[in-house]
A = this chain, B = another copy of it.
Amino acid sequence: MKNINIKELACELKLSVSTISKALHDSHEISEHTKRRVQETAARLNYVPNPYASSLRGRKSKNIGVVIPEVADSFFSLAINGIESVAKENGYHVLICLTHESFENEKTILKEFQGRRVDGVLLSVSRETSKSDHINELISNGVPVVFFDRVCDEVQTAKITTDDFESSYKATEHLIHQGCDKIAFLGISKTLSISNKRLEGYLKALKEYKIKADRKHILLCTDDTKQNYLLIKKLLQQVNSPNGIVASVEKLTTPVYKACVSMKLKIPEDIKVVCFSNLETASILSPSLTTITQPAFEMGRSAAKLLFKALQKTNFNLNEGSLVIPSALVVRGSTSKAKKGMPVFSKPVLQ
């Protein structure tokens, strides 16, 4: 069925376009009877409001934009679910755009969003992003922005993060308690807020336990799984090769496990691994993976709630909304203390 426009709807009902418009916007000038008549006919004849025309008259798009680096990471797919749950409650659509970790893509997407396609934006910046002009520009154009997970400190708005520094400290300390004294750190960016905090937490733990940090044990990974596999293999081939690994993002799990297999290193006997990850399969890996599990759904939900608060109340100050939701260390087989030569029964944990 073809949809009809407001003129055709007015013609059908023998009312003026302005009356139809007022009725659809629930104006007090129009009687309840007429409102009902208009709404019923609009539904029957498949009337679709033209969002462009509405927007020109200053109305809302009823869309929010979610700008994230990728969806292959479980953190983001869970965060999206949290965001969508709030959007639905508010009668909004969610438009998801991916930067694929490129600063240029991020700029283009935010520029596109300046054209009032969306009423607000939830943003987790790309790993290349070190400037924030494009974000400030969007905000100064009247589109509120709330950060989640990956933030730009210098932008004055709400930031929903997790305790990256403390989690990384906890992960490193756990490896030390399990007997590791040569611990590598795998990062993905020199500029990204979360990467730096995770690196700092790792360094702090080493320092407190009087373990000298070795620059050769700090690896900057790429966006390519195969290349990461080769980089990690090279790390494991060093003379002073590590017996523990803190991997700062989920996607490093597979290359770490594969590099260990290829080097004939057994996890956890020869090397213990902990990974920042929300992988559902963490507990059924061989061996099951010790993770820093982030409150992804809650972070998405909190960020969206704040954004809607800002959209509903013009005097709401987003600066006051920032929130830190803690992550959890979930200990599994990959950091178990089993002695070398003994089989590890890394029974999947049911949770």
Which residues of chain A from 138 to 171 have any CB-CB distance to chain B below 8 Å in the complex?
140-141
CB-CB nearest in chain B for A55: B52
Chain B residue, CB-CB nearest to A333: B286
A50 at the interface (CB under 8 A from B): yes
A207 within 8 A of B: no
Candidate in A53, A70, A93, A350 with the most chain B CB atoms within 10 angstroms: A93
Binds B, one of A15-23, A106-114, A323-331: A106-114
Q: With the chains together, A286 CA to B70 CA distance in Å?
A: 27
Copies in the complex: 2
Q: Whole-angstrom distance from the CB of A192 to the nearest CB of chain B?
A: 20
- From B48, B108, B257, B287, contact of A115 by CB (8 A): B48
A52 CB contact (under 8 Å) in B53, B71, B112, B140: B53
Shortest CB-to-CB span from A229 to chain B, Å, is 8
- Report the count of interface residues on A (CB-CB < 8 A): 63
CB contacts under 8 Å to B, within A1-50, are 1-3, 46, 48-50
Sample (18) of A-B pairs whose CB atoms are under 8 Å apart: A2-B137, A2-B141, A3-B114, A3-B137, A46-B137, A52-B52, A52-B55, A52-B116, A93-B109, A94-B97, A95-B95, A95-B97, A254-B283, A261-B348, A261-B350, A281-B285, A284-B286, A286-B288
Which 9 pairs, one residue from A and one from B, show the smallest C-beta to C-beta distance? A286-B286, A52-B52, A96-B96, A71-B71, A72-B77, A257-B284, A51-B115, A95-B95, A52-B55
